[in-house]
Structure 1
Amino acid sequence: MREQGSPPPGAAQAGRHLDSWGEIAAHLHRSVSTVQRWEKHEGLPVHRIAHARLGSVYATTTELDAWYETRSHAAAPAIVPVGDRIRLAVLPFQNLSGSPDQDFFSDGLTEELITHLARLRPDRLAVVARTSAMQYRHTAKDVRSIGAELGVAYVLDGSVRRAGARLRVTAQLVQTSDGTHIWADTYEQDLTDVIEIQTAIAERVGDSLSLELLSDRHVAHAKARQTTPEARDEYLKGRYVWNQRTPDALRQALAHFQRTIELDPGFAPGYVGLADTYALLGFWGYGILAPAEASRIARPAAERALRLDPGFAEAYATRGFLDYEFDWAWTAAERSFRRALELNPSYATGRQWYAVCLALQGRSADALAEIAQAREIDVLSSVVDYAVAWIHYLGRDYARALQHGVRARQDNPGFAVTHILLAAVHSFMGHAGEALREYGAYDRLRGVSAVGITFRACHHARAGETRRAKQGLAELQKRARSAGASPWQLAVVHASLGDIDGAFAELERAFEERSDFLAYLKVEPHWDPLRSDPRFAGMLRRVGLS
């Protein structure tokens, strides 16, 4: 809906005849479903001509503009003061297809609606992130309770029924203060028209909350998300497993995103999914691929997505992650993150990555401010809790790191990197027993890995258990001969053992391999034994962190 006092869409073309639903929708900057609903329920002036064998419609721009202007003034209640942002949560749409195999589709529709709504009016509408919204799958909680927990004024929920090539979606918007149903609608289309359904729902939300949708962005976003049903299925399956963030799930996601691109090389989200997956596969916390190998594929994929959709916020955020994690290009990373968050301030993952980027530069206060905004959007996310704990750990505030890390572990005990972080926090606090228990939990989830061996060996070295630390180092050296361990891992163990020359020798090899753990040189406590050596300042300069 337009703001009061703004000119009606298409005013310059007043008097022109529009001879199809498509032309009428284009003139009003809305979807066909929305203008058909307006005609049926709100008196949009559309005329019908009956022919011998079929009927057709037409409208005039003069009548449409007059109707729209009247509607704009009549339907502009002040929901919130100008300048404030309305907070909305999209709850998981229920899968009514009769098969759990279709959960990926209902979850995917939920996630795409979150993204779609967040991009339309980011200055006026704040949308709760996926991770928090998904906590309410199959919930029996009252909408008032959900509103209080998430801090939202409205929730959008519904159901999805998929049968053959047809899709039936019901959606309803509810006010959380009193449980009032603002509206409820049913949309039935071919699978090829799923974006039409998402667009119509977004427009109905915008109308209900007196938000003028940004037409150019609205149209561009919808166009960029069009694809075939087969490609969309592969993409949604990829996101479904990617969100689990386990090594096996990431490998499955990779296959789905590769298949997405094979089916539709022009589908921008497929490339972002591919880039996101390679970014995590190369991240030191997983260590599945060498960083240089992961970056070599992830970066072109992110850039391809941006060429296909220059307004794709998530692609900018992915590029920002690649900039700092693998390329140590700190200024470029900030530029990418700021653009991402300008396009979609509700993208919690982008805010989380940006916060870590700031923390790695030693900008702890800025990082905490940014992660606080991520928390505001994703209030129930264990991943955000983990990031908060990590930022406090990097700032040497171990007590707060422990507090947030424990909460992240309670909410998601299967998220392995939380255990490795808590182990390090306990180790630096001198809690040997607790540290070893967390290392054990990490090993049970990931198996005996180079990452686990590395930090356990560092712990033994700090505890004065030199023999056990050297055993860990020997195991890493053995693995390194078959590319099963990285030079940065050897470097931090040498540093913990006080072998400074050995640490710098491995650090040099880590630099040559572009090991991503070097992005953590400035603030990671495991590098502390090297800080007084002049060679360390030189290495900081080489990774852009002097």
Structure 2
Amino acid sequence: MNQPESPDRRLDGWKSIAGYFRRDRTTVMRWARERDLPVHRLPGGKQGSVFAYERELATWARRAEQDDLADAPAAPEPEAPLPASSAPPPSAPQTQSLGTDAPSQSSRRWLWPSLGAVALAGVLAVSLPMLGGAQSPGEPRSEQIVPLPRDPKVASDYVAARDLWARRTPAALSRAIGLYERVIAADPEFAPAYAGLAEAWLITREYGAATESRAYSAAKSAVEQALKLDSRLPAAHRANGFIQYWWSYDAQRAVNSFQRALTLDPHDGLSHFWYANVLADLGQDAAAQREYDTAQLLLPGTPAIAIERACAHWQAGRDRRALIELNQLKAQYPDDATIRNCLAWAHISRGDIRAYAREFGELARLRKVPELLALAKKLDTAVVRNPATAHLVLVADAQREFAAGERKTRMTPAFQASSMGDRETLVALLRQAAMLGERWYSATLNKRIAQQWQGDAEVQALLNKVVIATPKVRLT
């Protein structure tokens, strides 16, 4: 039976353990799983930091100390219960160590004083503010410990897949997909692996060689299975919102999915980040900037957030600022395909087809997609021949994609034609879209087309037929 230690002895033990935590991040996460220590890990590779919230640590330390006192041989009187604001909710999940049975209650009791909980926030690399204030017992809680498969080898594959996914290179993403599939084959009931597989496919369509239809189809199938296994998995709702917005063009359902993900886990930086991208495209600039702020607090130093935020300046009409920041980022991250994509959009919106072709060519080179490389070559040839009509190469390719099921609306080629001052092509695309009942969701593109042709009644009337209403966005 455990004996309560003296405060001095416990503090000495804390000091030695704190020093060990500084050296061994892996041990921190293992102990977190085995002893319910409320530790969080930042994504982003093998060197990712771990951290803890001071309030959660204080609650954990008080609970652990009470357990120790309750287990003592001759406790004179039971201590008063914890106040409701700090007591852990009764439904908090119990975690298990990898490859072993759940540890017994006595083995989970540690003898650290509350003083140690305050110091731990500094020891575990970084302390972040509790967003949204104190949590009432009835509110949803974010997962304190990242779930892992029970089998150590399967868990190792899952962690490696997450790490590869974060690298955002074609080769790394391909390996990540293979590892996720191996995890699913070994543990088909592990819902996070399906959500991770979906995310890998979604990022592959941006950084790798997957076509839109292939990537979204695979991601949608994985998300559906993840939600079937765990309807409260935030990552699954996040990926679902991504698919609903960027592939299904169902803006309201996408907003609902992101808000569901953030209700389930308000401290998920990736959900805030992806939601910010959607809000920026919907023209909700103030809301998007707040979500980017939150994402940066939760995922500090993440290049992708800085890149998309710079692109969001263009979406909000701050073209000069967007170009300055994107070019600065290009100098920092010359091999990032998304920067080239954002720059290409910014350049063509100004009617600069030469700059568009330059960035598009680099995008194709980085992604190593044969179809993109071929299109880039055609575009370069067309620019040399006649810059005023070079955009028709892009329009023709978009029509090909539409026929093949790789594209669902004519919104992008219409914007390209509009930007280049090609009214004839724009009107033809608008008429086709209206006849087929297309719904154009991007407030950014719709607004720029409308502004380009303010005095043109026909263009305005056709545009009104395809533009959808902005979804209802609940701001928190």
Instruction: Sort the TM-score into its range (normalised by shorter chain).
Output: 0.5 to 0.7
* Structure 2 contact 160–176 (Cα < 8 Å) conserved: yes
- Measured in 2, the distance between the counterparts of 1:482 and 1:330 equals 23
Helix, strand or coil at the partner of 1:328: coil
Helix, strand or coil at the partner of 2:390: helix
Q: Residue 289 of structure 1 corresponds to which residue in structure 2? A: 211
Does structure 1 residue 259 correspond to structure 2 residue 182? yes
Q: Residue 70 of structure 2 corresponds to which residue in structure 1? A: none
Question: 1:351 and 1:413, CA in 2 relative to 1: closer, same or farther beyond 3 A?
Answer: same
- Measured in 1, the distance between the counterparts of 2:32 and 2:377 equals 37
Q: Residue 129 of structure 1 corresponds to which residue in structure 2? A: 42
**Alpha-carbon shift at residue 350 of structure 1 (Å):** 0.7
**Alpha-carbon shift at residue 537 of structure 1 (Å):** 1.8
* Structure 1 contact 224–308 (Cα < 8 Å) conserved: no
Map 1:171-190 → 2, pairs under 5 A: none
Does structure 1 residue 328 correspond to structure 2 residue 253? no
Q: Residue 344 of structure 1 corresponds to which residue in structure 2? A: 265
Question: 1:473 and 1:325, CA in 2 relative to 1: closer, same or farther beyond 3 A?
Answer: closer
**Alpha-carbon shift at residue 456 of structure 1 (Å):** 9.7
- Measured in 1, the distance between the counterparts of 2:209 and 2:434 equals 19
Question: 1:525 and 1:250, CA in 2 relative to 1: closer, same or farther beyond 3 A?
Answer: farther
Q: Residue 29 of structure 1 corresponds to which residue in structure 2? A: none
* Structure 1 contact 494–502 (Cα < 8 Å) conserved: no
**Alpha-carbon shift at residue 388 of structure 1 (Å):** 0.5
Question: 1:476 and 1:366, CA in 2 relative to 1: closer, same or farther beyond 3 A?
Answer: closer
Q: Residue 337 of structure 2 corresponds to which residue in structure 1? A: 416
Q: Residue 377 of structure 1 corresponds to which residue in structure 2? A: 298
Q: Deviations over 1:12-32 (max 9, x none)?
A: xxxxxxxxxxxxxxxxxxxxx
Q: Residue 534 of structure 1 corresponds to which residue in structure 2? A: 461
Which blocks of at least 5 consecutive residues in structure 1 are unaligned? 1-38, 46-66, 76-89, 95-105, 138-145, 154-188
| Mean CA deviation greater in 221-230 or 310-319 | 221-230
Q: Deviations over 1:481-521 (max 9, x none)?
A: 76777764544444443312332256469977x9xxx5435
- Measured in 2, the distance between the counterparts of 1:201 and 1:451 equals 60
Question: 1:451 and 1:114, CA in 2 relative to 1: closer, same or farther beyond 3 A?
Answer: farther
Does structure 1 residue 209 correspond to structure 2 residue 209? no
Question: 1:290 and 1:442, CA in 2 relative to 1: closer, same or farther beyond 3 A?
Answer: closer
Question: 1:452 and 1:400, CA in 2 relative to 1: closer, same or farther beyond 3 A?
Answer: farther
Does structure 1 residue 232 correspond to structure 2 residue 140? no
Q: Residue 503 of structure 1 corresponds to which residue in structure 2? A: 429
Q: Deviations over 1:278-313 (max 9, x none)?
A: 333556x7683344x655543453344345445433
| Mean CA deviation greater in 386-395 or 330-339 | 330-339
Map 1:467-506 → 2, pairs under 5 A: 467-474=389-396, 488=410, 490-495=413-418, 496=420, 497-498=422-423, 499-504=425-430
**Alpha-carbon shift at residue 322 of structure 1 (Å):** 2.5
* Structure 1 contact 426–435 (Cα < 8 Å) conserved: yes
* Structure 2 contact 143–265 (Cα < 8 Å) conserved: no
**Alpha-carbon shift at residue 267 of structure 1 (Å):** 0.7
Q: Give the one of 201, 208, 213 matched to 1:278.
A: 201
- Measured in 2, the distance between the counterparts of 1:373 and 1:507 equals 37
Which one-letter code corresponds to 1:446 in the other structure?
R
* Structure 2 contact 364–373 (Cα < 8 Å) conserved: no
- Measured in 1, the distance between the counterparts of 2:377 and 2:136 equals 49
* Structure 2 contact 379–394 (Cα < 8 Å) conserved: yes
* Structure 1 contact 416–445 (Cα < 8 Å) conserved: yes
- Measured in 2, the distance between the counterparts of 1:417 and 1:403 equals 15
Q: Residue 242 of structure 1 corresponds to which residue in structure 2? A: 165
* Structure 1 contact 280–286 (Cα < 8 Å) conserved: yes
**Alpha-carbon shift at residue 342 of structure 1 (Å):** 3.7
- Measured in 1, the distance between the counterparts of 2:102 and 2:137 equals 15
Helix, strand or coil at the partner of 1:288: coil
Q: Give the one of 355, 358, 365 matched to 1:444.
A: 365
Q: Residue 363 of structure 1 corresponds to which residue in structure 2? A: 284
**Alpha-carbon shift at residue 93 of structure 1 (Å):** 6.1
Helix, strand or coil at the partner of 1:393: helix
Q: Deviations over 1:125-183 (max 9, x none)?
A: 9x67323x86x67xxxxxxxx99xx9x99xxxxxxxxxxxxxxxxxxxxxxxxxxxxxx
* Structure 1 contact 203–213 (Cα < 8 Å) conserved: no
Question: 1:220 and 1:387, CA in 2 relative to 1: closer, same or farther beyond 3 A?
Answer: closer
**Alpha-carbon shift at residue 381 of structure 1 (Å):** 1.1
Q: Residue 274 of structure 2 corresponds to which residue in structure 1? A: 353
Question: 1:319 and 1:481, CA in 2 relative to 1: closer, same or farther beyond 3 A?
Answer: closer
- Measured in 2, the distance between the counterparts of 1:476 and 1:504 equals 14
Which one-letter code corresponds to 1:348 in the other structure?
G
- Measured in 1, the distance between the counterparts of 2:316 and 2:377 equals 19
- Measured in 2, the distance between the counterparts of 1:319 and 1:297 equals 12
Q: Residue 22 of structure 1 corresponds to which residue in structure 2? A: none
**Alpha-carbon shift at residue 365 of structure 1 (Å):** 0.9
The aligned length equals 391
- Measured in 2, the distance between the counterparts of 1:207 and 1:268 equals 37
**Alpha-carbon shift at residue 539 of structure 1 (Å):** 1.4
- Measured in 2, the distance between the counterparts of 1:202 and 1:297 equals 45
**Alpha-carbon shift at residue 385 of structure 1 (Å):** 0.6
Q: Residue 64 of structure 2 corresponds to which residue in structure 1? A: none
Which one-letter code corresponds to 1:264 in the other structure?
D
**Alpha-carbon shift at residue 375 of structure 1 (Å):** 1.6
**Alpha-carbon shift at residue 263 of structure 1 (Å):** 1.0
Q: Give aligned-pair identity as a percent.
A: 20
**Alpha-carbon shift at residue 351 of structure 1 (Å):** 0.7
**Aligned Cα RMSD in Å?**
5.4
**Alpha-carbon shift at residue 239 of structure 1 (Å):** 1.8
* Structure 2 contact 365–373 (Cα < 8 Å) conserved: no
Q: Residue 466 of structure 1 corresponds to which residue in structure 2? A: 388
- Measured in 1, the distance between the counterparts of 2:349 and 2:113 equals 50
Helix, strand or coil at the partner of 1:130: coil
Q: Deviations over 1:25-82 (max 9, x none)?
A: xxxxxxxxxxxxxx7xxxx34xxxxxxxxxxxxxxxxxxxxx69x99xx99xxxxxxx
Map 1:25-40 → 2, pairs under 5 A: none
Which blocks of at least 5 consecutive residues in structure 2 are unaligned? 12-20, 55-95, 122-133
* Structure 1 contact 321–333 (Cα < 8 Å) conserved: yes
Which one-letter code corresponds to 1:240 in the other structure?
D
- Measured in 2, the distance between the counterparts of 1:511 and 1:200 equals 61
Map 1:78-117 → 2, pairs under 5 A: none
What TM-score do you get using the length of structure 1 for normalisation? 0.56
- Measured in 1, the distance between the counterparts of 2:349 and 2:249 equals 27
- Measured in 2, the distance between the counterparts of 1:214 and 1:204 equals 25
* Structure 1 contact 385–405 (Cα < 8 Å) conserved: no
**Alpha-carbon shift at residue 468 of structure 1 (Å):** 2.7
* Structure 1 contact 491–507 (Cα < 8 Å) conserved: no
